[in-house]
Amino acid sequence: MSQQELLKRVITALENTGIQYMLTGSLVSSLQGEPRLTHDIDIVVAVPREAIKRLLAAFPPPDYYLDERSILAAIEENSMFNLIDTTTGDKVDFWILTDQPFDRSRFSRRVTDYFLSQQIVVSRPEDTILAKLRWAKLAGGSEKQLTDALRVYEVQFTNLDMEYLESWAEKLGIESLLAEVKSRSRLP
C-alpha cells in the first residue's frame, strides 16, 4: 500500500469512527507550499475512548501495528501514538489534541481541502507556518522546517491572516523565526 493509499484508509477510518482530526505536518505544507517527500503522516486527533476499539478494528494485524496501550497512554499524557503499515513501513503519527491554547486555536480553524480525490480536513496555512516554526525552534533551527514554513508563506501570502500569524508567533516565542521567513521570502 502506498503512503497515499494509507492516508486515504486512515481518513476513512477516522471519519467512520467519529474521531475528529486535522492533517498537519509535511504533507500539509507540501499541499500549501512546495511539495517534498516525507516519511510519515502527521494527524492531530481528538480520540474519545469509546472510539478506540473501532479504530483498532480498522487496522488489524498482521498488516498494521496499532497498540491499544499506546493509544491510552497518549490520551493520558497528551502525547502521540503510531500506526505502522507493516508491509511498507509507512507510519502515521497521531498527535493527541491538547488543551494548549495554540492547539485549540488551530484545531478550531481547520478547513476541508480536496486531496487525492478525497476531502481531507487540514490546518490553515497560518497554522501550518506557525507549527513548522515551532518545530524549527524545538529542533534548534531545523532548516527543513524553516524552508517548509517559508514555502507555505510564499505560496499562500495573499490569503494569509497576517494579524493572526504575527500574534501567535509572539505568543509562541517564534517572532524571530517568522521575521527570518519574511526576510528570506521572494516576495516584494
Q: Is the pLDDT of residue 141 over 90?
A: no
Domain boundaries, the chain: 3-122, 125-184
3-122 CATH, one of 1.10.3470, 3.30.70, 3.30.460, 3.40.30: 3.30.460
DSSP per residue, 149-188: HHHHHHHHGGG--HHHHHHHHHHHT-HHHHHHHHHH----
pLDDT in tens, 40-56: 899 999 999 999 999 99
What's the rounded mean pLDDT across residues 168-182? 97
What's the rounded mean pLDDT across residues 73-82? 97
Burial of 56 (0-12, 13-18, 19+ CB in 10 A): middle
Looking at residue 115, what is its pLDDT?
Answer: 80
Phi/psi region, residue 36 (left: phi>0; alpha: psi -120 to 50; beta: rest), is beta
What's the rounded mean pLDDT across residues 22-33? 94
Predicted model pTM? 0.93
Residue type, 135: W
